[in-house]
Every structure is written in structure tokens, then in C-alpha cells.
């Protein structure tokens, strides 16, 4: 894992796609006293993947793992987006031109700013490219 | 109409004499020339001279599917390679198939059996028979093919698949009879419905020869009333040659060519013979087989020998409809699958854990097999694409080894049931 303040750790949790399964995973997060800042759900026919940005992800990871739940850490980057037309285009265009693929992403509304969390195939290069293009990235401490 | 009245209507006592003579010479030959049987008889303390009557057959040791597997591919064969004219193979329990070999004479008795069977249900030179059993390593397609040609029927060798095209040919060629699995026929009927084809109005189909998987009287009634045809049960496993014996027009039991196959019905637990009419495990001896001798083979099919004369005039023994298996073999869309085969395939895939469940359903006409596996945490990915790729990989491995398409579901560790004692991993929800 990169030690860069712009690299944000996401926890991904495997959830069976059955009624009540998300609730039971959410229950684990509650029991572990984990606060979810932003999340996204991806689903296939029989399973889903809950992706969450949480407070103190390393500690949360250990807690969730100890409950026997499949959890994985993933490096994400947070891109600040203006509340105006074309702001998504700016960042996506920079990444696209640099040949960096966005696997998935989801929006996050913080107290002071809007942002987009994205999972890219090369986070290090993405951070560098976006910085050079003058696009503001969200720091871990800002979430 | 009989194909071979001399044999089919032979006096019961004469048939027993014929069977005894065949047995005696078979056992002599095997003891002298077949290493496997020689050793087996020796260790069971049986000598060909002990065969004093047909009842002494019970002294001979049993033979199991495992024997065929252990002697893969041809170690049990009784003839040199140059006498083999064909191979068939069926899937095994641990990746290795079992291989059947046929001499010219083996093909001849198989074809003869089918000629008798087809004649007994009125299929002959006037008929156009569509063979929608799989052609290839599976015995169904080629077996029926040669049997039908023998009686002079015109064969349409469609094999399985391309159902729309099969239905078109059936109409255009005025097909009068079809041979396939009952579930495939039901699937055809379903597809025909969607295409606006009415079997009564738009086809000349009158008869269906159905087998290779278990089916019931209620399925027969459903098929017959929905399609306006008569359906007949056919029996035969690859160890015996392939599908061979059918019901006659009476449709009360399957006539077994007594000169070809000797049937015992035994208590599966004690191995003791059961009375006629009692259900038990079928044990067969093939009396004319040359390439791969089959003596007291435990087929594991559950049936009974039927009492009384059949009004059709045939004296050949009858067995009742197969009602199940004495082992855990599953028959899915006509393909034999052992749960151990599924387990073997799954356990070789490093990404999945050691718990799994198998669920069988029948949606409309075709069987579905759904296999749930638990993924190992270290192979979990946050990308759906990776997980879907893993699932596709497991499905393709299963398809490769089982020869049947299974649907895989990925589950989290701990999600599937754990068993104390004997695991019950197969849930069969098919209504048949």
C-alpha cells in the first residue's frame, strides 16, 4: 500500500445477494462501531460487493476480518469535483489521455466539498497525473 | 410382429438351458483367457467346474464400475486391438472416463437387440426415425442409429441440439418416430409451442423411444397427451453396450433379450437374490459380449423382475421401470454425473474452499444443475469483473469434466451448510 496522503483506503466486503445479507454485514460494521463515510454496492446475480470508505480503515479492516467476513483493502483516489457542469469531464479526460483505466467510482458528499472516489488500475500514476494537471485531490485527513 | 420369434418366444425352460450353456462357455473362456476374471475367480475360490446350473451364477464374484476405472482404458478387454471396431466412453468419477470396446459381434448383438425392440413397438421400414440422442462417445446416438437401419427405418441422425432445426426437419421429412431423452422431448415440445408448431397438426410423429434418464408414468402421460404420440421406455447402459431393450406395445415392463443379458435382482445390502416382483439392485451378465466381458456387474439401477406371461407373446424376461439408483449417481439431461466427480473438479480449483452444494431443478423440460461454492478470502476481489471471471472459470472446468453445463454461485466462507457425519450436499428438487 502506498504511503501517500492522497491514497484513500477502501474496504470491500463480499455480500451474498439474498434478502437480509446487507443488513447482516451492516450489523457487523455497527457492532464494530465503524462509521461509513461513503459507500457503493455492486451486484452480480448471486453476490454483491459492498465498497465503503470508513473512519480508520486499518483498524476497521482487522475488526471486520475477525468476524469472519471476507474483506479486502483497496487503494482509491478522491477527486474533488465542482458542483458545476463538466467537472467530471476534467478528471476523466486527464486519466483517459494518460491511459489510466477507471474500474469503478462513486460520488461522495463531504461537509465542505463534493468528490468522486475512483478505483484505477494504477493509483500512483493517477495521483501524479491528476496533480500535474492541477486537479485537486482529496487527502485522507479531509474525509 | 417379432424380429426374432425363435428367441423372443422361446419356452422359458429352453431359454434357461441356452443361458446356462452361454454362461458355462463364458466362464470357461474368462477363466482361461482374461487376467482380470481369472484372478477374481481365483480369489473368490470359484472354478468354471462349479457352474453346474444357472443358479450357480450366484457363486461368481461381483464386478463394479470401479473395476472398469481401475483397469482404464483397456486392461480388462478380452480381445486384441485388431478385433476392436469401435470405442465408446462414459465419464468417470475422478476425471478418468470408462472405456467400452466393441468387436463386430458386439455391435451385431447390440443392433440385434435394438432391432427386436424397435419391431416390438411397431417401428420398421415404413418409419422415419429421428435420432436425437447424442452421437459420439455416448452410446445412445450410434446405438439407435444402427438398430433403426437394421429394421429398415429411415434414420434422421440429428443428434442433440439445434432444436428449431430439428423441428423443421421433423416436419419436412415426415418423421414418424423419435429417440431421445424424455427431458429433451419435453424441451422440443416447449420450443415447438413457441414456434407455433402443433405436433398433432403439423407433424407425422407417432412414437417416441425415450430413455437414458429416469422418467415416470406421469411424465409419459404428459408427453402423450400434449403431443398426441405413444412413448416407450428404453433401457441399457454403456457397460451392457448401450440402450438396447424396450417395452413392447403392452408397455408393462421392459423385455430383456434373455440370450443377450442375464438379469439378477439382489438385495443391495446382502447381495441375496430377491423374489420376482421385489425391487432390488440389478446385476447383469452379458452373455454374448466379446471385447469387454461383463459378468455379474452391479449396475446400481433399482428394478424388479416381473412375473407372468406378457400378452404380446414374448417369453423374454421383463424388468420393471427403473425407479432409482442404489448409489448416488445423478442423471442430468441424460448425462451420468457422480457427486464425487463434481467434488474432484471443484477441489482442484485453488480459489474455492471445501464446502459445496449441488442443487438440481427442472425448469419446464430441462434439468438445471446449480453448484454453490465458497470462495477463499484471499481470492476475493473488489472488482465484480474478477469475480465473474472466476465464476466463469469454475463453470468451464465443470463443463470440461462433467460434460454438462452447470451454473455456479459464489458464496462467502461459512455461508454453506456444514455437516456432522454424512454430508448431504445434493438437493434434488426435480419433479419427475
Residues A85, A66 share a domain: no
Q: B170-211: per-residue pLDDT in tens?
A: 999 999 999 999 888 988 998 999 999 999 999 999 999 999
A70 closest CB neighbour out of B372, B377, B385: B377
A10 vs B contacts (CB less than 8 Å): 382
Q: What ipTM was predicted for this assembly?
A: 0.84
Are A12 and A60 part of one and the same domain? yes
d(CA B369, CA B341): 14
Whether A48 and A93 map to the same domain: the answer is no
Residue A106 lies in a domain: yes
User: For every residue of B218-246, which 3-state class applies, written as one string?
Assistant: HHHHHHHHHHCCEEEEEECCCCCCCCCEE
Say which range, A2-6, B162-166, B239-243, has the weakest mean pLDDT: A2-6
Q: CA B53, B58, B59, B65 torsion: positive or negative?
A: positive
**Domain with A42 in it: what CATH number?**
3.30.2130.10
Q: Does residue A2 fall inside a structural domain?
A: no
- Domain shared by A81 and A106, yes or no: yes
Residues of chain A with confidence (pLDDT) below 70 = 1-3
- CA dist B131 and B365 (Å) reads 19
Give mean pLDDT, residues B61-66.
92
**B382: closest chain A residue by CA:** A12
- Determine which of B357, B382, B390, B391 to mutate to test the interface with A (most A C-beta atoms within 10 Å): B382
> Is-contact B394 A46, C-beta < 8 A?
no
| From A47, A51, A72, residue closest to B410, measured CB to CB | A47
CB contact under 8 Å between B412 and A14, yes or no, is yes
Residue A105 lies in a domain: yes
Spatial separation of the C-alpha atoms in residues A12 and B410, rounded to whole Å: 16
Averaged over B218-245, what is the pLDDT?
Answer: 94
Residue at A93 is within a domain: yes
Compute the nearest-CA separation of A21 from chain B (Å): 11
Same domain flag for A56 and A87? no
Tell me what the mean pLDDT of segment B241-270 comes to: 96
Residue at which a domain ends, from A26, A45, A74: A74
The answer to whether residues A81 and A138 belong to one domain is yes
Domains of chain B with CATH codes: 1-326 (3.40.50.12780), 335-428 (3.30.300.30)
Give B-chain residues touching A45 at CB under 8 angstroms.
409
CB contact under 8 A, A49 and B410: no
pTM: 0.75
Residue A134 is assigned to a structural domain of this protein: yes
Considering only CB atoms, which chain B residues are within 8 Å of A1? none
CB contact under 8 A, B380 and A72: yes
CB contact under 8 A, A70 and B387: no
Does B420 reach chain A within 8 Å, measured CB to CB? no
Residue of B nearest to A13 (CA): B382
Asked if the Cβ–Cβ distance from A43 to B384 is below 8 Å, we say yes
Rounded to an integer, the average pLDDT of B377-405 is 92
At which of A41, A74, A107 does a domain end?
A74
**How many domains does one find in chain A?**
2
Is pLDDT above 90 for B124? Answer: yes
| pLDDT value of position A3 | 57
Domain match, A103 and A137 both? yes
Same domain? For A129 and A79 the reply is yes
Residues A132 and A104 occupy one common structural domain: yes
Average pLDDT for B96-104: 92
Helix (H, G, I), strand (E, B), or coil: what is residue A99? Answer: coil
Label residue B304 exposed, middle or buried (CB < 10 Å: 0-12, 13-18, 19+). Answer: buried
Domain boundary among A26, A47, A74: A74
Running DSSP on this structure, what letter comes out for residue A137?
B
Counting one residue from A and one from B, how many pairs have CB atoms under 8 Å apart? 50
The fraction of chain B above a pLDDT of 70, given in percent, is: 98
In tens, the pLDDT along B309-368 reads 999 999 999 999 998 888 888 888 888 888 888 888 898 899 998 889 999 998 777 889
- Its domain, for residue A24, covers 7-74
* Neighboring chain A residues of B383 at a CB cutoff of 8 Å: 103-104, 119
Query: Which residues of chain A make contact with B372, given a CB cutoff of 8 A?
Result: 46
Q: Which of B380, B384, B388 sits opposite A70 (nearest CB)?
A: B380
Residue B258 near residue B286 (C-beta atoms within 8 A): no
* Pick from B372, B384, B414: CB nearest A49: B384
- Report yes or no: A119 at the B interface, CB cutoff 8 Å: yes
Question: Is position A118 within any domain?
Answer: yes
Q: B415: nearest CA in chain A?
A: A16
**CA–CA gap between residue B274 and residue B295 (Å, rounded):** 19
| Residue B148: its H or E element | helix B139-150
Q: Do residues B149 and B110 lie in contact, with contact meaning Cβ atoms separated by under 8 Å? A: no
Residue B215 C-alpha cell reads as 422418467
- Whether residue A1 lies inside any domain: the answer is no
pLDDT confidence of residue A1 = 47
Which residues are bridge partners to A67 per DSSP? none
Indicate yes or no: CB of B412 within 8 angstroms of CB of A69: yes
Judgement on whether residues A68 and A13 belong to the same structural domain of the protein: yes
Same domain, A80 and A30: no
**CA distance, residue A128 to nearest chain B CA (Å):** 23
Pairwise pLDDT comparison (B97 vs B361), residue with the higher score: B361
Can you give the pLDDT at residue B294?
97
Give the Cα separation of B270 and B267 in Å (integer): 6
pLDDT band at B95 (very low <50, low <70, confident <90, very high): low
Measure the CA–CA gap between B169 and A50, rounded to whole angstroms: 51
The verdict on whether omega for the bond into residue B73 sits within 30 degrees of 0, i.e. cis, is yes
Do A53 and A103 fall into the same domain?
no
- The CB-side HSE value for B123 (13 A sphere, CA atoms) comes to 35
- Contact of A2 with chain B, judged by CB distance below 8 Å, is answered with no
From the list B189, B150, B156, B194, the residue with the least C-alpha distance to B172 is B156
Q: For B126, list phi and psi in degrees, rounded to 5.
A: -80, -10
- Chain A residues 11-50 with a CB less than 8 Å from chain B: 12, 14-16, 42-47, 49
Whether B382 sits inside 8 A of A47 (CB atoms) is no
Amino acid at each position: 500500500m502506498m504511503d501517500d496522503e492522497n491514497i484513500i483506503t477502501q474496504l470491500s466486503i463480499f455480500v451474498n445477494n439474498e434478502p437480509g445479507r446487507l443488513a447482516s454485514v451492516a450489523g457487523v460494521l455497527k457492532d464494530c462501531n465503524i462509521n461509513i463515510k461513503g459507500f457503493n454496492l455492486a451486484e452480480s446475480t448471486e453476490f454483491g460487493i459492498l465498497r465503503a470508505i470508513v473512519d480508520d480503515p486499518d483498524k476497521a479492516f482487522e475488526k471486520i476480518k475477525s468476524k469472519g467476513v471476507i474483506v479486502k483493502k483497496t487503494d482509491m483516489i478522491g477527486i474533488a469535483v465542482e458542483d458545476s457542469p463538466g467537472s467530471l469531464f476534467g478528471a476523466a479526460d486527464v486519466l483517459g489521455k494518460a491511459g489510466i483505466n477507471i474500474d469503478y467510482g462513486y460520488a461522495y458528499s463531504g461537509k465542505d466539498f463534493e468528490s468522486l472516489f475512483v478505483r484505477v488500475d494504477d493509483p500512483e500514476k493517477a495521483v501524479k497525473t491528476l496533480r500535474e494537471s492541477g486537479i485537486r485531490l482529496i487527502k485522507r485527513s479531509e474525509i | 410382429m417379432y424380429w426374432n420369434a425363435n428367441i423372443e418366444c422361446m419356452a422359458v425352460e429352453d431359454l434357461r438351458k441356452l443361458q446356462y450353456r452361454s454362461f458355462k462357455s463364458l466362464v470357461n473362456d474368462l477363466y482361461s483367457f482374461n487376467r482380470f476374471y481369472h484372478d477374481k475367480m481365483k480369489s473368490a475360490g470359484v472354478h468354471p467346474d462349479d457352474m453346474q446350473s444357472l443358479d450357480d451364477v450366484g457363486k461368481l464374484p461381483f464386478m463394479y464400475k470401479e473395476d472398469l476405472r481401475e483397469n482404464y482404458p483397456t486392461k480388462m478387454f478380452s480381445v486384441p486391438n485388431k478385433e476392436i471396431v469401435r470405442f465408446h466412453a462414459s465419464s468417470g468419477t475422478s476425471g478418468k472416463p470408462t472405456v467400452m470396446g466393441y468387436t463386430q459381434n458386439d455391435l451385431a448383438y447390440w443392433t440385434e437387440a435394438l432391432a427386436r425392440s424397435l419391431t416390438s413397438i411397431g417401428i420398421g421400414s415404413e418409419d422415419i426415425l429421428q435420432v436425437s440422442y447424442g452421437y459420439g462417445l455416448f452410446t445412445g446416438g450410434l446405438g439407435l442409429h444402427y438398430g433403426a437401419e437394421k429394421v429398415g427405418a429411415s434414420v434422421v441422425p440429428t443428434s442433440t441440439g439445434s432444436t428449431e432445426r430439428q423441428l423443421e426437419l421433423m416436419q419436412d421429412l415426415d418423421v414418424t418416430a423419435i429417440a431421445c431423452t424424455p427431458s429433451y422431448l419435453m424441451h422440443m415440445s416447449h420450443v415447438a409451442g413457441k414456434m407455433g408448431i402443433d405436433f398433432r397438426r403439423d407433424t407425422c410423429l407417432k412414437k417416441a423411444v425415450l430413455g437414458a434418464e429416469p422418467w415416470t408414468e406421469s411424465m409419459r402421460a404428459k408427453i402423450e397427451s400434449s403431443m398426441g404420440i405413444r412413448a416407450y421406455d428404453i433401457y441399457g447402459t454403456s457397460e451392457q453396450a448401450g440402450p438396447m431393450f424396450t417395452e413392447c406395445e403392452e408397455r408393462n415392463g421392459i423385455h430383456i433379450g434373455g440370450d443377450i443379458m442375464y438379469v439378477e435382482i439382489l438385495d443391495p445390502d446382502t447381495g441375496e437374490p430377491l423374489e420376482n416382483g421385489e425391487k432390488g439392485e440389478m446385476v447383469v451378465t452379458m452373455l454374448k459380449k466379446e471385447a469387454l466381458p461383463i459378468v455379474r456387474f452391479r449396475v446400481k439401477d433399482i428394478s424388479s423382475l416381473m412375473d407372468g406371461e406378457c400378452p404380446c407373446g414374448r417369453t423374454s424376461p421383463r424388468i420393471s421401470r427403473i425407479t432409482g439408483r442404489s448409489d448416488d449417481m445423478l442423471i442430468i439431461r441424460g448425462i451420468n454425473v457422480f457427486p464425487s466427480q463434481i467434488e474432484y473438479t471443484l477441489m482442484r480449483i485453488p480459489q474455492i474452499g471445501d464446502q459445496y452444494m449441488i442443487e438440481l431443478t427442472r425448469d419446464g423440460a430441462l434439468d438445471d444443475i446449480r453448484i454453490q461454492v465458497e470462495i477463499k478470502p484471499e481470492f476475493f476481489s473488489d472488482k465484480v469483473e474478477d469475480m465473474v471471471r472466476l465464476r466463469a472459470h469454475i463453470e468451464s472446468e465443470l463443463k470440461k469434466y462433467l460434460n454438462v453445463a452447470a451454473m455456479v454461485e459464489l458464496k462467502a466462507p461459512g455461508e454453506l451448510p456444514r455437516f456432522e457425519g454424512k454430508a448431504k450436499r445434493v438437493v434434488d428438487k426435480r419433479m419427475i
